[in-house]
Amino acid sequence: MPPDPGPDGTTVLGASDVARALTRIAHEIVERSRGVEDVVLIGIPTRGVTLAHRLAARLAEIDPGFDPARRTGELDVTMYRDDLHRQPTRAVGVTRLPDDGIEGRIVVLVDDVLFSGRTIRAALDALGDLGRPRAVRLACLVDRGHREVPIRPDFVGKNLPTATDERVRVRLAEVDDVDDAVIIAGRGPATEAAR
């Protein structure tokens, strides 16, 4: 039986669940990539960047030759979004590529919640302007379904079927002082609708 929803919604992942999911994803990245020699992690702001740094730390624990500081970056996709005409006041963020770049690398895009896939489509367009990776893979903490474009994650912390009017909020200690994922029901259209 799921926990009762509190004022902030129903918690579906607690701190220990988030930690276990990231450890599992890190091991899956190593296995799928046959090591970490060519792997770079690119986080999508805001929480995707935090998750990318956490995954990088776990990869370094698995393979001490992996340098988290040199192999992690962040990718602003604001100008590549297909909803700019609806929300033209978005602030442009920062794009910071890993020191080793992305050319010929295995790029793992990292985001917190995957919903429609539109943010990831924008990220793929942005990456195409920055270089030509050998492969691009996607890691997300929560996959809630409802895809509008043909995008599927390679590494998932939790598959979480949701209604379209529900929201999924991931909170991370570095940003929100707590680690969890919460479903918030029936508060109108999802704020992640463009994700």
Residue-wise pLDDT for 34-58, tens only, equals 999 999 999 999 999 999 999 999 9
pLDDT at 2: 42
pLDDT at 90: 64
Task: Please state the rounded mean pLDDT for residues 146-161.
Answer: 94
pLDDT at 186: 73
In whole angstroms, how far apart are CA 182 and each of 4, 15, 27, 62, 194? Answer: 12, 12, 25, 29, 18
Model confidence, pTM? 0.88
Among residues of the chain, what percentage have pLDDT more than 70?
88
Tens digits of residue pLDDT in 94-151: 899 999 899 999 999 999 999 999 999 999 999 999 999 999 999 999 999 889 999 9
Residue 176 lies in a domain: no
* Chain centroid offset of residue 15 CA: 17
Residue 145 lies in a domain: yes
**pLDDT of 32 higher than 50:** yes
In whole angstroms, how far apart are CA 176 and each of 37, 79, 87, 148, 169? Answer: 32, 26, 25, 29, 11
Residue 142 lies in a domain: yes
d(Cα 114, Cα 85) in Å, to the nearest integer?
Answer: 22
Residue 103 lies in a domain: yes
What does the angle CA 111 – CA 154 – CA 66 come to, to the nearest 5 degrees? Answer: 75
Residue 134 lies in a domain: yes
pLDDT at 192: 41
Strand order in the sheet with 10-13: 10-13, 180-184, 167-171
Q: What is the domain range of residue 65?
A: 21-82+93-161
CATH number of residue 99's parent domain: 3.40.50.2020
d(Cα 171, Cα 100) in Å, to the nearest integer?
Answer: 29
Mean of the per-residue pLDDT values of the chain: 89
Residue 29 lies in a domain: yes
Residue 63's CB is within 10 A of a number of other CB atoms, namely: 13
Residue 184 lies in a domain: no
Residue 45 lies in a domain: yes
Sorting pLDDT into bands at 50, 70 and 90, what band is 4?
very low
Sorting pLDDT into bands at 50, 70 and 90, what band is 189?
very low
Q: How many domains does the chain have?
A: 1
Pairing of strands 155-159, 135-143: parallel
